[in-house]
């Protein structure tokens, strides 16, 4: 084996190792986010019946509207999966197309959530009305903040893909980390929809 071939092999091995470390490190970050959301769910569970004479979730929540939000976010997870399939095939144009669709769905989710918040506050059911509403707004808004961060991250990665002549392993690793983050937010939202919304109206 020539010195040049050996050097290239070592560089490839180092790159693969670096990618694995990055993804593993991101998994560790997601574990800390799990602790954060678990704490918020626990607070909501304790406060879910503390209405202070105000409205309950059954009085306030529009399950049909929340179901549309949920569908948009779950569909965005599928479209991001298509983006990752395109990335593995080094098809930059397809990656950008699927990222654009994912971004649009994520943005639609946020717009619907902001509309819901605006409606609740307009009805006098803001976070200061009761412990129930305070814990609800904190949990759902924290998830919404994470979605916002994910959308900003998506724009940054899309800009990097546009500038690059072709997708590199480093870019694919970054896309993979965002994929983990985005799917994690979907899982959290399923828990929110089931535990917070459905649990409050049934």
Counted domains in the chain? 1
CATH number for the domain that contains residue 21: 1.20.120.80
Backbone conformation region of residue 53, classed left if phi is above 0, alpha if psi is from -120 to 50, else beta: left
Confidence of residue 16 (pLDDT cuts 50, 70, 90): low
CB-facing half-sphere around the CA of 127: CA atoms within 13 A: 10
Whether residue 134 contacts residue 47, with contact meaning beta carbons closer than 8 Å, is answered with: yes
- In this prediction the pTM is 0.88
Angle among Cα 185, 119, 42 to the nearest 5 degrees reads: 40
Distance, in Å, from the CA atom of 94 to the CA atom of 97, rounded to the nearest integer, reads 5
**Tens digits of residue pLDDT in 50-67:** 999 899 999 999 999 999
Of 16-20, 116-120, 195-199, which range is least confident? 16-20
The per-residue pLDDT for 170 is 92
When pLDDT is averaged across residues 28-39 and rounded to a whole number, the result is 95
**Tens digits of residue pLDDT in 152-193:** 999 999 999 999 888 999 999 999 999 999 999 999 999 999
Distance, in Å, from the CA atom of 58 to the CA atom of 70, rounded to the nearest integer, reads 18
Whether residue 70 contacts residue 193, with contact meaning beta carbons closer than 8 Å, is answered with: yes
Distance, in Å, from the CA atom of 127 to the CA atom of 60, rounded to the nearest integer, reads 13
Confidence of residue 18 (pLDDT cuts 50, 70, 90): low
Q: Which domain holds residue 24?
A: 3-201
**pLDDT of 6 higher than 90:** no
Whether residue 75 contacts residue 181, with contact meaning beta carbons closer than 8 Å, is answered with: no
Give Cα separations from 121 to 7, 15, 126, 143 (angstroms).
Answer: 62, 51, 4, 18
**Tens digits of residue pLDDT in 82-138:** 999 999 999 999 999 999 999 999 999 999 999 999 999 999 999 999 999 999 999
Distance, in Å, from the CA atom of 126 to the CA atom of 3, rounded to the nearest integer, reads 68
Distance, in Å, from the CA atom of 43 to the CA atom of 50, rounded to the nearest integer, reads 11
**pLDDT of 20 higher than 90:** no
């Amino acid at each position: 084996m020539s010195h040049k071939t050996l050097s290239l092999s070592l560089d490839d091995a180092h790159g693969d190792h670096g990618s694995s470390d990055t993804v593993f490190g991101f998994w560790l970050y997601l574990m800390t986010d799990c602790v954060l959301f678990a704490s918020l769910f626990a607070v909501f569970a304790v406060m879910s019946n503390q209405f202070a004479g105000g409205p309950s979730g059954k009085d306030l929540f529009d399950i049909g509207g929340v179901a549309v939000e949920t569908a948009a976010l779950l569909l965005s997870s599928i479209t991001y999966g298509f983006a990752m399939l395109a990335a593995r095939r080094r098809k930059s144009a397809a990656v950008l197309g699927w990222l654009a669709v994912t971004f649009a769905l994520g943005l639609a989710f946020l717009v619907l959530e902001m509309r819901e918040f605006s409606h609740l506050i307009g009805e006098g059911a803001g976070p200061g009305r009761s412990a129930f509403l305070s814990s609800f707004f904190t949990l759902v808004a924290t998830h919404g903040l994470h979605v916002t961060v994910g959308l900003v991250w998506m724009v940054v990665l899309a800009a990097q893909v546009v500038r690059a002549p072709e997708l590199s392993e480093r870019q694919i690793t970054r896309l993979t980390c965002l994929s983990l983050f985005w799917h994690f937010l979907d899982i959290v939202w399923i828990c929110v929809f089931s535990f917070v919304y459905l649990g409050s109206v049934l």
